[in-house]
Structure 1
């Protein structure tokens, strides 16, 4: 009897083990299309045998573990490539927008408009007595300045869009870090209890995959399935974002929403001093998360902060200095200002996150490119304005002569109070003098006092500027007309005498300068697109390799299901047979 009951137990254990295997297989099939799921396998082992004569007798089977199939080396490779792909995709997306904004060499692009402006001056030089030729000059020039204004503003918008992506990334990153932190503790609890938290491990790995597209991460395995997660910072080294042990001594990120020049009590801007406002953990849904700090920033520090925008913070979102200490600032809670405002001496004690790869890095770096294109566009605007104004006014020295009609500028700064001023002119504010727009007859066409009705010598000289080479590439933010023309041979004129400009050595014409910008942009965009294609192919191959290891194959699972089904049925047959034998013994004895 004891032998039959022992056999019965063997059959029960067999059915139980095969049922568990069927459950795991069903779980795999159900999650065949679940993102981040790793297929699981049942490991079976024999149960402890019984000691009987003449030797040990087997007692059946049991499930020793349910493990997920995962290759950690492939995980490392995929995550490293995720960071590179995120960087290149971010650059490619933005640079493609910039290329579209410039509109290249199309019929409505800047290059075509530049040619039309100089052509209109040439036409005017041959027909100075016609009012419509003057109107064409004014309108073609206004079309050019409007296009420059539009490109400038669109580039600024593209840059703002980059910052918006960075802001959203900060929110998403902090959320993922909090989730990984919670999963860490849940996994450890399950591990300590002696079980395998396979589905929790999958969730954590999936979050780490997504996080790796934002910036480079390193992961250190700890006991009981815990992990320490760090971000690679090019400035300060690794930043610990998640620890296996539950602690608040980890870093998070906050987003700088504005950098505003500081003003004194009289409303005068304090040079180099700024009010820097950031939102804790990037959460701009409430002013309770807003903190403002006063900082002294050099030009380079301002540029880095403006392009980066991501501050290293403590777990509560407060910005920390390079020693990890909270930086004091004004907080706005319930509409009231709380906290202490402490001006920083140098503005360099804060930690600006400087990722070495990933989407964040891409959107930070591409802003440098945008600023470069804005500066080049500003140089183009200055070059056009300075050269045309010099001949139109008859002097190589800039004049802000207001409404003096004998000496004034053709191109002016639209935001300056003085309508004729060209100081601080950029692609964003360049326009045609409103006096000329309202009265094209004010355009200076000839020389002499007064010029003859058919004298178009000044207009002809402006038309020839199309072929004059200038040091446009050497213009700075503070360049004046005199400095711009210092490399050219200039024969001074006056309001009645013609000023002439000869080409500068190693200079560029206005048209060729813009063409160089467009061609350089096209090459950069092509390179970025090629990088995306190349790294996309590599990432696809790595993910394919990982899927072949960890992914669910429905064909394989169906084959396993049939195998476990037959084993289950066989064990059921054992139980049925033992039942018949027990019935024979028990009921047969009654007879």
Structure 2
């Protein structure tokens, strides 16, 4: 009997010693990040039959379990990944937003000032100071475009650095998880299946840290090892093995990097699969904000340079010379991705120009080409033998293509950085038009030419006077000195209509006809030599500010730039509000985890007292057993 009581007391002593050790372990790790509170599972031993009854035999000290909720853990990782992704996205996007909206850096004010200066030349075309102001404002535009391009380049480098830093952390965490997997498998086997709780906490902490960098999903093997999948399901850790991530330059953009799995057979590009966390946030920012902003800024630069240059070249300067390019002649960027042949692409119509990049490929027989607009994956295809094709304001020269060609076309990507003023002196500003109209005094009617403009000017001087003579019977002007006539003109229905004539070796003359001409009335279009006070081309340059030049003829330069500012601002604001919402969910999850797994010092202190008393009581049971045993021995002496 005394022996049974002794064993019962010993079982309690052992059990409560384990409980006290575990309680002390909890208290010691109250500030250990990722630690889960542990608990000793106590079970009553099987009773011993004694006569018609069963007598208890004490307590078993069972497994030491950690208080852990798998559902809350998954919820924490998902919320953590979403929060850090939005945080990275917002931090980058807000930088672009601040730059574009800054009056000292952005384009809005500079565009307004440039066209105001063009109007200043129109108001006083012979004024050298007014012309110098226009040159200066052009140089300010150059500086703004170049500065924005440089800032975006710096931001792209920051994104690359962020991606590379995140990948370094991912690799370190993957190695740590694989190592812990191996230790957990060994420890679980040595402990006959008992869970190595502290190792499990350490591994979960690494997985939690990994979720801050990229989306994480897991599954557990039968031996206790965990497999880790990141992004859209790419395997990072399988048992004690792990893959290594790295970067390599993008083939079509040396200033950007791709994320790759580094494999013995070669790198595998996985950039588009990397979602969530700081890594996913940086990549998504680049794809959704930075690249579109760079391309759209370039679209404004190309369209502005093209429109101003075309108009400027259709005028004459103070010296009577044909106007030259005002801004640099920007070119379409074409990158060969390792295919065959060559490809030339030129700007054709800036009204239809988009901010998208394009891919062009050919089939194995070089019979068919495929052009893909990458912004929306719209496909245009046809026969290579057609020689050329015009799409979205671009002319693709197909004559140099070969089988299996693969090109990336980037029409606007580098335009902002290449934008510059190329005329050197105020006298070179072509404020005048090379053609002037005159009405002979012998005319008896009121017919006249208005709104003269020149297109495709090939020479500064009109070879000979172009004469329009009205035939009231046929209701038309006959034309001498140019092609394109006769010009049908009914004063009742055609007044204000536009007409175009071509003069060989000179260019196209466009104008409107108005008034009520009499029969045989003439209008002369003559060379404007010496017309230094003419301001018509300066007026046409100034009017480009409000011309619907972009987006299919629906937007001005400032409209498109404003769209960049608005879109970036909207995305930054959306990211900020979504981040705040995710942070709220994350904090709720953290609180729920703390209620399940966190160490409460008040509770542990109470347990310490309670189990200390139990330990002392178990000791007293042993002492009582000894007293009974001594009494029994004394009875037989």
* 1:463 and 2:531 correspond: no
Name the SS of the counterpart of 2:594 in structure 1: helix
User: Based on CA coordinates, which of the two structures has the bigger radius of gyration?
Assistant: 2
Distance 1:197 1:152, change over 3 A: same
Post-superposition shift, 1:209?
1.7
Post-superposition shift, 1:29?
1.9
1:243 and 1:514 mapped to 2: Cα distance? Answer: 49
Distance 1:183 1:117, change over 3 A: same
1:76 and 1:55 mapped to 2: Cα distance? Answer: 50
* Residue number among 18, 21, 25 corresponding to 1:20 in the alignment: 18
CA contact 1:446–1:456 (8 Å) conserved in 2: yes
Post-superposition shift, 1:44?
1.1
1:163 and 1:108 mapped to 2: Cα distance? Answer: 24
* 1:364 and 2:283 correspond: yes
Aligned residues: 460
Aligned to 2:76: 78
Distance 1:413 1:393, change over 3 A: closer
Normalising by the residue count of structure 1, what TM-score does the alignment of the two structures yield? 0.70
2:331 and 2:560 mapped to 1: Cα distance? Answer: 26
What CA deviation, in whole Å up to 9, does each residue of 1:481-500 have, x standing for no partner?
Answer: xxxxxxxxxxxxxxxxxxxx
* Residue number among 148, 151, 166 corresponding to 2:148 in the alignment: 151
Name the SS of the counterpart of 1:219 in structure 2: strand
Gapped regions of structure 2 (runs ≥ 5): 333-345, 348-410, 435-527
1:463 and 1:168 mapped to 2: Cα distance? Answer: 49
Name the SS of the counterpart of 1:62 in structure 2: strand
* 1:445 and 2:431 correspond: yes
Distance 1:459 1:351, change over 3 A: closer
CA contact 2:330–2:415 (8 Å) conserved in 1: no
Distance 1:308 1:447, change over 3 A: closer
After superposition, the CA RMSD in angstroms is 3.3
* Residue number among 186, 190, 208 corresponding to 2:187 in the alignment: 190
2:4 and 2:17 mapped to 1: Cα distance? Answer: 20
Name the SS of the counterpart of 2:328 in structure 1: strand
Distance 1:153 1:473, change over 3 A: farther
* 1:567 and 2:614 correspond: yes
What CA deviation, in whole Å up to 9, does each residue of 1:166-205 have, x standing for no partner?
Answer: 2222222122111111111111111112232001111111
Post-superposition shift, 1:111?
0.4
CA contact 1:215–1:355 (8 Å) conserved in 2: no
1:514 and 1:206 mapped to 2: Cα distance? Answer: 46
What CA deviation, in whole Å up to 9, does each residue of 1:234-259 have, x standing for no partner?
Answer: xxxx4333233x5x5x6432321x34
* Residue number among 457, 473, 488 corresponding to 2:551 in the alignment: 473
2:98 and 2:580 mapped to 1: Cα distance? Answer: 20
Aligned to 1:35: 33
Superposition pairs for residues 298-377 of structure 1, below 5 Å?
Answer: 302=252, 309-314=258-263, 318=264, 326-327=265-266, 350-355=268-273, 357-359=275-277, 360-369=279-288, 370-377=290-297
Superposition pairs for residues 119-138 of structure 1, below 5 Å?
Answer: 119-138=116-135
Normalising by the residue count of structure 2, what TM-score does the alignment of the two structures yield? 0.65
1:581 and 1:430 mapped to 2: Cα distance? Answer: 103
Aligned to 2:223: 224
1:230 and 1:414 mapped to 2: Cα distance? Answer: 46
1:371 and 1:566 mapped to 2: Cα distance? Answer: 69
Post-superposition shift, 1:573?
3.4
Aligned to 1:536: 583
Gapped regions of structure 1 (runs ≥ 5): 260-273, 275-301, 319-325, 329-349, 397-403, 475-505
CA contact 1:47–1:61 (8 Å) conserved in 2: yes
Post-superposition shift, 1:38?
0.9
